[in-house]
Amino acid sequence: MNVDGLTVSALAAELNASLRGSRVQGVFQPQPSSITLELWAGEERRLLLEAGEQPRVHLTTQRFANPQRPPAFCMLLRKYLRNGIIVGVSQPGLERILDLSIRHGEEYILRTELLGKHTNIILLRHETILGALTSTVGRRSFRPGEIYRAPPAQEKLDPRTMTQEEFLARLSTQPLSNLSPAPSLGRGEVGPEIAQALLQIVDGIGPRLAKEIALRAQLDPARPVASLTAEHRLALWGATRQLWESISEQPSPSLYFDDDRPIDISPVPLQLYAHLRCESFPTLSQALDAYVRLAPQISPFAQEQRRLREIVRGHCAKVRHALERVAQDLERSRDYERFRHEGELLLAHLAELRKGLDKIELEDFFDGTRKAIQLDPSLDPVENAQQKFERYKKLKRAQEKLAARVAELRQELEYLESVENYLEHAESDADLSEIRAELGAGGYLPREPQSREPAHAVGPREFVIRGYRVWVGRSSKQNDELVRGAAREDY
CATH second-level architecture of 301-426?
Answer: Orthogonal Bundle (1.10)
Q: What is the pLDDT of residue 292?
A: 85
SS3 string of the chain? CCCCHHHHHHHHHHHHHHHCCCEEEEEECCCCCEEEEEEECCCEEEEEEECCCCCEEEECCCCCCCCCCCCHHHHHHHHHHCCCEEEEEECCCCCCEEEEEEEECEEEEEEEECCHHHCEEEEEECCEEEEECCCEECCEECCCCCECCCCCCCCCECCCCCCHHHHHHHHCCHHHCCCCCECCCCCCCCECEHHHHHHHHECCCCHHHHHHHHHHCCCCCCCEHHHCCHHHHHHHHHHHHHHHHHHHHCCCCEEEEECCEEEEEECCCCHHHCCCEEEECCCHHHHHHHHHHHCHHHCHHHHHHHHHHHHHHHHHHHHHHHHHHHHHHHHHHCCHHHHHHHHHHHHHCHHHCCCCCCEEEEECCCCCCEEEEECCCCCCHHHHHHHHHHHHHHHHHHHHHHHHHHHHHHHHHHHHHHHHHHHHCCCCHHHHHHHHHHHHHCCCCCCCCCCCCCCCCCCCEEEEECCEEEEECCCHHHHHHHHHCCCCCCC
Equal fold, 5-141 vs 301-426: no
* Residue extents of the structural domains in the chain: 5-141, 164-296, 301-426
Per this entry, what is the length of the chain? 491
Q: Per-residue pLDDT tens for 115-133?
A: 988 899 999 999 999 999 9
Q: What mean pLDDT comes out for the span 395-407?
A: 79
Quick one: pLDDT band at residue 406, thresholds 50, 70, 90? confident
Q: Which residue has the higher pLDDT, 382 or 388?
A: 382
Q: What mean pLDDT comes out for the span 464-488?
A: 79
pTM metric for this prediction: 0.61
94: closest CA among 146, 165, 35, 155? 155
Q: Per-residue pLDDT tens for 442-467?
A: 888 865 545 444 444 567 777 767 76
Q: What mean pLDDT comes out for the span 198-219?
A: 94
Quick one: pLDDT band at residue 489, thresholds 50, 70, 90? confident
Q: What is the pLDDT of residue 428?
A: 67
CATH second-level architecture of 164-296?
Answer: Orthogonal Bundle (1.10)
Quick one: pLDDT band at residue 145, thresholds 50, 70, 90? very high
Q: Per-residue pLDDT tens for 78-111?
A: 999 999 999 999 999 999 999 999 999 999 999 9
Quick one: pLDDT band at residue 334, thresholds 50, 70, 90? low
Quick one: pLDDT band at residue 181, thresholds 50, 70, 90? very low
Q: What is the pLDDT of residue 325?
A: 84
Answer whether residue 152 shows pLDDT above 50. yes
Q: What mean pLDDT comes out for the span 300-316?
A: 82
Fold of 5-141: ibrinogen binding protein from staphylococcus aureus fold (2.30.310)
Q: Which residues neighbour 436 within 8 Å (Cβ) at sequence distance 6 or greater? A: 308, 445
Q: What is the pLDDT of residue 52?
A: 85
